[in-house]
A and B are shown apart, each in its own frame.
Chain A
Amino acid sequence: MNRRYTIIRNVVFAWMTLMILAAFLLNIPRINILEHTARNLYFHVPMWFTMMAAVLVSAWHSVRHLQTGSVESDIRALQSARVATLFGLLGLATGILWSKFTWYVGTDVWWNFDPRQTMAAVQLLIYGAYFVLRSSFDEPVRRGRIAAVYNLFAMVTVPFLLYILPRQQASLHPGADGNPAFDEITHPVMRFVFYPAVVGFIGLFWVLYTQRVRMARIQNRLTANPEL
């Protein structure tokens, strides 16, 4: 178990190192306005994919926890939500910087309520509320159950934003109407780094997540058994 973890962790670290080197060193086509900020594609977009994956993992373990009541799935739901928050904050930060130096260059705009930005902010607020809710319980069994219910209940409302927000405000973000996220003009060099970057970031999620899960398990055992 530990040996497999170590091997995968080392592979992920080597993979990420190569990917970061490739991201900064390989030559990319210069597009007006975007210029070298296009390299952010390798970081910003995989961070979001990773966050979505982590959100799904967290929701899945909340469902499992309600079905079985096992402590393990509660730990997994919580730790996955924590790592999702980390990747969400990183994705938000890289997105804000990217937009500041492309769309809003020469203005004072840092935050423009772009639909995707708003959705990310709402999902992060829900996780904030989830952590606050957890901290207001003393008893672990009840805490796990109630937190799982809130995690699922709040998540039901997020997909509505996909329908509502684009009608509120037109988006500059790629992937909106008439602005494909990724099309045939995206240079092969960029695809060559981008897809491995997605795999690398999801691998990084796996490393952080399993590490936190094992640590939480040990912490649980210690609180249950102080003599250990």
Chain B
Amino acid sequence: MTTRAHRSSAVADWLHGARAVLMKELRLEWRSRHAINLLLMFVLSSLLLVVFALGSDPAEPPLQAALLWIVIVFSAAVGLGRSFLAEEEQGTMLLLQVNVPGSQVLAGKLAFNVLLIASVIGVSVLAFMGLLGMQVHHGGLLVATLGLGTLGLAGATTLLGALIAKASARGPLLPVLLFPMLSPLFLSAVRATRAALGEGATWAGSASELTALVGFAGAVNTAAFLLFEYVWTD
């Protein structure tokens, strides 16, 4: 009985710590609204460029799926690199290291990045539907693809954000590190999105893409939790 109670309180402690980090991120974000404004402006301005570039020709579903994911991946690469950088710049890294174990910090930051990416994706999809006339034929498939893509993208950007926060010459490092390792996610997500936008989309038709996305999200997030300690305890 005692061990069981002990274990459940350990899990509760872990969740408590992770939630505290998430709440801190949300509170800071609510004060400045820096990251979300940056991301939304990035999405909207790149969408404007897409619309200008396409002119009045209606875009076909394959092109829409490709452009949607390019906008999502680029805005993630631009906007999410800051999560650990801000701690380093404000000198709050040590405070966090002393108070919260590494895995809880990663979980909190990861959850925050999931929320940010999900809002970016939501805005982009709505804007694509409004501005580019994107039509969704299989809503469930689209939501599943976008959701799994969000998890994979968040896992990759969060750990890479922690890596680049330690670099002495920063510059635009995140896209360089992110894009090569994102190719499996990108390929499967674009294909599944294209299927969901086309007519006659079924769950079975995109099963292999969804499997790949589940596997990618699982592998990346597991690797992130395993490797984070080495980045965090410096």
Q: Residue B59 at the A interface, CB < 8 A? A: no
In the complex, A148 has a CB within 8 A of chain B? yes
Q: Which residues of B contact A165 (CB under 8 A)?
A: 187
| A window 152-169: CB within 8 A of B | 152-154, 156-157, 160-161, 163-165, 167-168
Question: Distance (Å) between the CB of A63 and the closest chain B CB?
Answer: 10
Contact B187 A153 (CB under 8 A): no
CA–CA, A164 and B211, complex, Å: 10
Q: Which of B187-226 contact A (CB under 8 A)?
A: 187-188, 191, 208-209, 212, 215-216, 219-220, 223-224
**At the interface, yes or no: B28 with Cβ under 8 Å from chain A?**
no
Q: Mark B74-88, 1 if CB is under 8 A from A, else 0.
A: 000000000000000
Q: Are B219 and A156 in contact (CB under 8 A)?
A: yes
Please tell me if B168 contacts chain A, counting CB pairs below 8 Å: yes
In the complex, are the beta carbons of B184 and A149 less than 8 A apart?
Answer: no
Complex partner residue of A152 from B166, B182, B223, CB under 8 angstroms: B223
With a cutoff of 8 Å between Cβ atoms, the chain B residues found around residue A153 in the complex are 159-160, 181, 220, 223-224, 227
List the A side residues contacting B163 at CB < 8 Å: 133, 146, 149-150
Question: Contact check: which of A139, A150, A160 meets B215 at CB < 8 Å?
Answer: A160
Indicate whether A129 reaches chain B with its CB closer than 8 angstroms.
yes
In the complex, A161 Cα to B215 Cα: how many Å? 12
Does A132 touch B at the CB level, under 8 Å? yes
Question: Complex formed: what's the CA distance from A165 to B188 in Å?
Answer: 9
Inter-subunit contact B180/A145 (CB<8 Å): no
Q: Judging by beta carbons under 8 Å apart, are B168 and A137 in contact?
A: yes
Q: Tell me if A138 counts as interface (CB < 8 A to partner B).
A: yes
For B181, B219, B230, B231, the residue with the greatest tally of chain A CB atoms inside 10 Å of its CB is B181
B219 and A146 contact, CB distance less than 8 A: no
Interface membership of B5, Cβ < 8 A: no
Does B30 reach chain A (CB closer than 8 Å)?
no
Assess whether B176 is interfacial by the CB under 8 Å rule: yes
Smallest Cβ-Cβ distance to B190: which chain A residue: A168
Asked if B177 contacts A150 (CB within 8 A), the reply is yes
Q: Is the CB of B219 within 8 A of A160?
A: yes
Assess whether A221 is interfacial by the CB under 8 Å rule: no
A164 vs B191: C-alpha distance when bound (angstroms): 10
* A223 within 8 Å of B (CB atoms): no
A57 at the interface (CB under 8 A from B): no
Q: How close is A169's CB to chain B, nearest CB, in angstroms?
A: 10
Residue B89, interface by CB 8 Å: no
Structural contact, A157 and B208, CB atoms closer than 8 A: no
- With a cutoff of 8 Å between Cβ atoms, the chain A residues found around residue B227 in the complex are 66, 149, 152-153
Does the CB pair B176–A132 fall under 8 Å? yes
Contacts known (A153-B159, A160-B212, A160-B216); A138 close to B180, Cβ less than 8 A? no
> Can you list, as one digit per residue, whether each of A106-124 has a CB less than 8 Å from chain B (1) or not (0)?
0000000000001000100
Closest B residue to A124 using CB positions: B180
Complexed CA–CA distance, A137 and B220 (Å): 24
Contacts of B234 in A (CB 8 A): 142, 145
Does B99 interact with chain A (Cβ within 8 Å)?
no
Of the residues A122, A136, A150, contact of B183 by C-beta under 8 Å: A122
Q: Cβ of B142 < 8 Å from any Cβ of A?
A: no
Of the candidates B168, B188, B230, B231, the one whose C-beta lies within 8 Å of that of A138 is B168
- 18 A-B residue contacts at CB 8 Å? A135-B169, A136-B167, A136-B169, A137-B167, A139-B168, A146-B163, A146-B166, A150-B160, A153-B160, A153-B220, A156-B181, A156-B220, A160-B215, A160-B219, A161-B183, A163-B208, A164-B209, A168-B187
